């Protein structure tokens, strides 16, 4: 842990007009986009053009649509509070025991990457345990205890959306105030002269309460990602209740997304070395995004299938499954190759051979000179971000599982393509300024970003 300090050092950075415009646009639009999608499912059976056509032709007014939207309820507020409290307790009060009996799983206390100010944080990695216990309870309830209906999440979906928004805005606002007045590590704070930018992109790098409650690790993983698979299960239960059976499309979406979620928790230690934790500050983008955007928009396929119980032909279902599994394989192996390479400082085998390496160096904010290595073998020699390609193939598979009836379930692949392309450009810009000439040597050795010969 880095030293705790009571006031932030405030080097100011300027924000260009384009970034500022995009940020204000996103702040205004993202909340509306989530509402629009969920409302379109609730009132127009997931037809995205439905509300617009109704308003344009005078069949409905905005106020009619709003009046039909379920408000926040006491039940949803209680459920949500219970949910978040339960996840906080699992995160803070139950040290990891999975690493003691699961071979190959790395949990317990682990170190994160070196922050720009040279701090190395310690984390209690117990996400897999939280996921397992939560799902054990869910299945115990569904098959033995019957405390609540498995459709409970679907049945309260819009009232819960308001609760998630309250938490998302509250945590982002708190993080901003905390960054100004009582930061965890002042040397890792980032200030611009613009309020909106600070609010959206965050001031503090790794805000914490006490020694262990790390905002990024908690909000990124739980409650959103633990909830992801429960939300899908609730959608499947609702499909069965409404249509008498669970379709193969719903099974595919549940299985493929569960693989992605379990992978995330199995590799939570690896996650400490990804861009979210290593480079992004904690503001509205991460805080609200984790509470609202992720659980509501990453689960659109399951929601859609409640309204449209698509049953795929066998070749279609097999095609989707294969695409999802191959995508997952590339995603996992590419990420594993980089992780192994970095952990062993290049003393490993990639695709059975000693890896090709570019030695590089950089200077951190405290003026210290550091050495690092870039991998030029395996998937990192195919393209500079081939791990994103695997992710995109998996994302496309979820969408294709929903057939071709509506645009709404395809939002995910459109969003992921934009997110990961932007992320790739942002990361390359950062790496270019971090490594300078050494990065140029890497781009000369591996000329394409995502798809060889194309981009
Ligand atoms: P990466 O795992 O690709 O990490 C990029 C960083 O890795 C760079 O900043 C650099 O960091 C280092 N690096 C780059 N090239 C090399 C190389 N050749 N050899 C060694 N190190 C290198 O990015 P992300 O953290 O964005 O993604 C991790 C995974 O998470 C991806 O598979 C992505 O698809 C997924 N993801 C999923 C999202 C979702 O919403 N579903 C959102 C975001 C990501 P350094 O400074 O250490 O050199």
Tell me, what's the pLDDT at 365? 72
Q: Cβ(34)–Cβ(296) under 8 Å?
A: yes
- Counting residues of the chain whose pLDDT is more than 70, the rounded percentage is 97
Alpha helices (H) in 141-282, listed in sequence order: 152-155, 157-181, 195-201, 215-221, 224-243, 248-266, 268-271, 275-278
DSSP, collapsed to helix, strand or coil, labels residue 374 as strand
d(CA 75, CA 240): 24
Mean pLDDT in residue range 352-364: 90
Dist. CA 438 → ligand 1 center (Å): 18
DSSP, collapsed to helix, strand or coil, labels residue 372 as strand
12 against 276, higher pLDDT? 276
360 Cα nearest atom in ligand 1: 48
Examine the pLDDT at 366 and tell me if it is beyond 90.
no
- Counting residues of the chain whose pLDDT is more than 90, the rounded percentage is 79
Mean pLDDT in residue range 206-225: 92
Q: Cβ(35)–Cβ(214) under 8 Å?
A: no
Tell me, what's the pLDDT at 10? 46
Tell me, what's the pLDDT at 115? 84
d(CA 284, CA 248): 37
**What is the per-residue pLDDT across 82-109, written as a single tens digit (0 to 9) for each?**
999 999 999 999 999 999 999 999 999 9
Which residue's alpha carbon is nearest to atom 16 within ligand 1?
374
Instruction: Determine the length of the chain.
Output: 455
Dist. CA 388 → ligand 1 center (Å): 8
Angle formed by the axes of helices 17-44 and 157-181, nearest 10°? 160
Mean pLDDT in residue range 270-291: 89
The CB density around residue 29, as the number of other CB atoms within 10 Å, is: 11
Examine the pLDDT at 193 and tell me if it is beyond 90.
no
Dist. CA 384 → ligand 1 center (Å): 10
DSSP, collapsed to helix, strand or coil, labels residue 443 as helix
DSSP state of 113: E
DSSP, collapsed to helix, strand or coil, labels residue 416 as helix
CA angle 88, 126, 145 (to 5 degrees): 65
d(CA 29, CA 254): 29
Tell me, what's the pLDDT at 99? 95
Which residue's alpha carbon is nearest to atom 20 within ligand 1?
374
Tell me, what's the pLDDT at 161? 98
**Mean residue pLDDT across the chain:** 92
Tell me the two tokens of residue 267: 């590799």
DSSP string, 119-137: -EEEEEE-HHHHHHHHHHH
Tell me, what's the pLDDT at 12? 54
Mean pLDDT in residue range 188-213: 90
């Amino acid at each position: 842990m880095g030293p705790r300090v009571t006031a932030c050092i405030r080097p100011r950075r300027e924000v260009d007009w384009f970034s500022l415009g995009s940020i204000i646009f996103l702040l205004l639009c993202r909340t509306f986009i989530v509402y629009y999608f969920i409302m379109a499912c609730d009132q127009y059976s997931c037809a995205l053009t439905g509300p617009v056509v109704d308003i344009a032709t005078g069949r409905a007014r905005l106020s009619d649509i709003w009046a039909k939207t379920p408000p926040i309820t006491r039940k949803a507020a209680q459920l949500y509070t219970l949910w978040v409290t339960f996840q906080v307790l699992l995160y803070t009060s139950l040290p990891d025991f999975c690493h003691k009996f699961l071979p190959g799983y790395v949990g317990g206390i682990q170190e994160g990457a070196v922050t720009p100010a040279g701090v190395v944080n310690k984390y209690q990695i117990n996400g897999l345990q939280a996921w397992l216990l939560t799902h054990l309870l869910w299945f115990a309830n569904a098959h033995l205890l019957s405390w609540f209906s498995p459709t409970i999440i679907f049945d309260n979906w819009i009232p819960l959306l308001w609760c998630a928004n309250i938490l998302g805005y509250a945590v982002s606002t708190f993080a901003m105030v905390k960054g100004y007045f009582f930061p965890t590590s002042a040397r890792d704070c980032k200030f611009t002269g613009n309020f909106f930018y600070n609010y959206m992109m965050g001031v503090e790098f790794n805000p914490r309460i006490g020694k262990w409650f790390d905002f990024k690790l908690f909000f990124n993983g739980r409650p959103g990602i633990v909830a992801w698979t429960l939300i899908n299960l609730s959608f499947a239960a609702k499909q069965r209740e409404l249509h008498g059976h669970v379709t193969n499309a719903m099974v595919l979406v549940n299985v493929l997304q569960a693989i992605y979620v379990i992978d995330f928790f199995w590799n939570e230690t690896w996650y400490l070395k990804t861009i979210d934790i290593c480079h992004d500050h904690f503001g509205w983008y991460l805080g609200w995004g984790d509470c609202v955007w992720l659980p509501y928009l990453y689960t659109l396929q399951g929601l859609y299938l409640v309204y449209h119980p698509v049953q795929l032909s066998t070749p279609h279902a097999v095609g989707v499954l294969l695409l999802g599994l191959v995508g997952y394989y590339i995603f996992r192996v590419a990420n594993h190759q980089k992780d192994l390479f970095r952990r062993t400082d290049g003393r490993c085998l990639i695709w059975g051979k000693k890896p090709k390496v570019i030695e590089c160096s950089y200077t951190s904010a405290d003026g210290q000179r550091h050495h690092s290595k870039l991998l030029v073998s395996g998937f990192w020699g195919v393209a500079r971000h081939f791990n994103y390609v695997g992710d995109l193939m998996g994302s496309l598979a979820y969408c294709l599982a929903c057939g071709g009836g509506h645009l709404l379930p395809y939002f995910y692949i459109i969003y992921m393509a934009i997110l990961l392309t932007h992320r790739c450009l942002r990361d390359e810009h950062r790496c270019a300024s971090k490594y300078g000439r050494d990065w140029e040597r890497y781009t000369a050795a591996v000329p394409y970003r995502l798809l060889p010969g194309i981009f």
